[in-house]
Amino acid sequence: MNRFLFSTSLTLFFFAQPVFADSSDTSTELPRIIVSASRDDATLAEIPQSTTIITRQHIDDSPAQSLDQLLRNVASINLSSIPAASKDPTGQSLSMRGLGNSTVLVLLDGVPIMDPFYGTVQWFKVPLATIDRIEIVRGGSVVWGNMAVGGVINIITQKPKDNRGTLSASYGSFGTKNASLSKNFTVNDALGLNLSVDRLDSSGYQLTPSPYLWRYPDKRPIRTRDTNAQMTVYLHPSSDVQGYLRLGYHINDEKIFYAHGDNKQTSPDFAASLSKALNEHSSLTASTWAQEVTFGKYNAATCYWKPTGGCLSLPATLAGLPAEQANDPVAQYYTQYGDQSYHERGFSATYLRTLGTVWRDIQVGLDYRRLNAADNESIYNAPTIYGVPVGTLAASVTGRGTQDYSGLFMQTRVAPMASLLVTLAAREDRFSSNIASTEGDNPQLSGGTTKTRFDPSLSARYFVNDALSLRASVNQTFRGPGLNNTLRSYGSVSSTPSIADPYLVPQDMLGREIGIHYDRDGLGLSATYFFYGIRNVILSTTSPAAGAPSAYQEQLCNYFLAGFSNTLCNFYSNAGDERSRGVELLGSYRVSPHLLFNGAFTLTDAVLTRTSTNTPVRAQIAGIPRLVGSLGVLWSPLDKLQLEAQAHYIGRMNYYSSTTAGTYSQGSNTVLDVGGRYHLTAAIDLTLAVNNLLNRTYTDSTWTYNQPYTQTLAPARMAYLGIRVMF
């Protein structure tokens, strides 16, 4: 069956091109580029895994207004259509090839840019104006270790080559204003600096469908203000030494839905890297980084205030607001306050030696990351007095914890014949955690785990001729549990609070893929079949305290619910296994220097094969469409004008699935984005972009089947007008 599926899809792709292609696959344009995400000197043509490069030119031509929107159209990336500016930072997850949240390692110049607590991506830290190119390597990466399960994305920033500066500004729908300034200073050949600042303001859009807004009186869009300031010093004191030092300060400030809802993250960070050529055959690279995050979070709510006092109850089965309550006053209050501070420290060193034509090179290295976190959560009852912004304290929980990741890796490339390049890699990792939690005045609970693992990898690329190559890869990787799963217990005591598990262990993945690549005369085609098996998947189970996976969780749940009639909690545990397989087709066809077709197609079959939760096995995992495709065209009718159109297809998707209620699906959607750039002068560009041109109303997020008011809408039509001035 698998062989039939692969061969049939591959045949259809080759006959259907250029309907299926990839706008960001630029292998025909950049055959000699070194892909730093591979952690060796491999060129794009030598990488044994499916790889996409997004160039600066593609970023300029794209209608996307932010990094997350840009990556959404890349083949096999599972990323919600909701812009990062309209989403809670704790939910800005990223996955690839149906492998679940926090399974893609995102780097900025080789340094992780993940939230140390939630494992989400800090999109707001990287404005598009600072990027030179983006490398996307799909499939597990042994040499990077934790989180590189689905793939690696490395964002490469622009290095100063002169004293130029760039000023960019845009204004668009939902009161979205974006401004950035980047200025280079080249002191001499050995020293260059870049200073950059940017600000994004957005009033957001209404995420809840209008027929259900009566359930959320006075609910507003998420209003966001992101601010970044960054200085990077680039050093090149001699021909054999180069590096950089970066200092940044970042603020993500969101007003969430209601008057008392607020998310505010402040995160200064630091990164430095230095490379030294020891001789003509060997080099040493060392990097270090750190970030501090403080996060204040108010979760808020509203309710209709009853004439007799207190909040009006709105049962899930209620079809509309009763007429007698239509003129009731609305009470605004907050339900939870979280005070979090967490820190990351990291270091890596890599030694690379080139050897010869048969045994090409060898690389050895080490990585170390330490995460510390403190989390204080206060949960409140609904107020009993109108106008008071908070009720009585229902529960409080504090947590402290650390996680350590350390690893040693080796990678070598061998060419037993001129047409075959084999890459072998292995990594030894040690994961350890130490967690302590206290609920109210109850005794402190503590726990943790330590795990050592060995992960090997074997991959190869065979060059049939100058245009055609075959590739294959098999690797074993892992994803460590996030502090949000091992440390943070939170939620309403009157319903089902979520209880963390300090004993969670890493998820294990065995991945395999085979592929074919063709590149000649402006035509680039790529097809890949992938198959992954993941053990110890972290899932949430709802049960009474007595059914908790560990004694730690049982005791904490009992503490949480003391004095309340509710007896259920949600418990995190390594509760299942997953299998994801599929076909990935990419291509681009340059008809002429002025016309390029591009796009992609991905079929993903992702299911749980074992679970102790109430999620069914062998059913497509909710939130992952089986079919996703894109088709784009880039046209330059004039030397000064570039136009791009990009259609994004989201196939039928399960939005809810359980053994008790069944599986529910929604239909497919196609979204069209268009944009244009006009070079007014050599130094001034004007841009116009319209996303969701046809104003499609849709959602690509999960929601509860019998509670349609929990849907989260994708954005309606959005238009942006921008200017870029180079000086």
Note the pLDDT of residue 8: 38
How much is the average pLDDT of 247-269? 95
How much is the average pLDDT of 132-142? 92
pLDDT beyond 50 at 22 = no
As a 3-state breakdown, the chain gives helix, strand, coil percent values, each rounded to 5, of 10, 55, 35
- List the single range of 155-159, 428-432, 578-582, 587-591 with lowest mean pLDDT: 155-159
pLDDT tens per residue, range 438-490:
999 999 999 999 999 999 999 999 999 999 999 999 999 999 999 999 999 99
pLDDT tens per residue, range 260-294:
999 999 999 999 999 999 999 999 999 999 999 99
How much is the average pLDDT of 299-308? 93
Closest CA to 691 of 65, 246, 9, 254: 65
pTM reported for the whole predicted model? 0.90
Tokens 């030894």 belong to which residue? 428
Please report, rounded to a whole number, the percentage of residues in the chain having pLDDT higher than 70.
96
Note the pLDDT of residue 40: 83
User: Please, which pLDDT band fits residue 429 given cuts at 50, 70 and 90?
Assistant: very high
Domains of the chain, with CATH numbers?
2-726 (2.40.170.20)
Note the pLDDT of residue 16: 35
User: Please, which pLDDT band fits residue 129 given cuts at 50, 70 and 90?
Assistant: confident
How much is the average pLDDT of 682-701? 95
The residues, any chain, with a CB within 8 Å of residue 3's CB and separated by 6 or more, are: none
Average confidence score pLDDT of the chain: 91
How much is the average pLDDT of 559-571? 86
pLDDT tens per residue, range 492-545:
887 889 999 999 999 999 999 999 999 999 999 999 999 999 999 999 999 999
pLDDT beyond 60 at 49 = yes
Closest CA to 212 of 138, 309, 56, 318: 318
The residues, any chain, with a CB within 8 Å of residue 291's CB and separated by 6 or more, are: 116, 267, 268, 269, 270, 343, 344
Q: Quick one: residue 46, left, alpha or beta (phi over 0 = left, psi -120 to 50 = alpha)?
A: alpha
pLDDT beyond 50 at 69 = yes
| Whole-number Cα distances in Å, 575 to 453, 541, 544, 555, 612 | 20, 8, 16, 19, 6
How many Å separate Cα 166 from the centre of its chain? 28
pLDDT tens per residue, range 381-392:
999 999 999 999
Note the pLDDT of residue 652: 95
pLDDT beyond 80 at 329 = yes
pLDDT beyond 60 at 13 = no
pLDDT tens per residue, range 151-204:
999 999 988 888 999 999 999 999 999 999 999 999 998 999 999 999 999 999
- List the single range of 100-114, 219-233, 504-518 with lowest mean pLDDT: 100-114
pLDDT beyond 70 at 12 = no
User: Cβ(157)–Cβ(108) under 8 Å?
Assistant: yes
- Give the whole-angstrom CA distance, residue 376 versus residue 335: 14
pLDDT beyond 50 at 9 = no
How much is the average pLDDT of 611-616? 92
Report the alpha-carbon angle 234-238-241, nearest 5: 65
**At 123, is the secondary structure helix, strand, or coil?**
helix
Note the pLDDT of residue 30: 45
pLDDT tens per residue, range 333-378:
999 999 999 999 999 999 999 999 999 999 999 999 999 999 999 9
Note the pLDDT of residue 61: 83
Note the pLDDT of residue 27: 35
The residues, any chain, with a CB within 8 Å of residue 681's CB and separated by 6 or more, are: none
Most confident of 86-95, 141-150, 671-680: 671-680
Note the pLDDT of residue 276: 96
The DSSP letter of residue 305 is: B
Q: Quick one: residue 586, left, alpha or beta (phi over 0 = left, psi -120 to 50 = alpha)?
A: beta
Note the pLDDT of residue 491: 86
- Give the whole-angstrom CA distance, residue 700 versus residue 623: 7
Q: Which amino acid is present at 561?
A: L
- Give the whole-angstrom CA distance, residue 624 versus residue 342: 31
Note the pLDDT of residue 24: 38
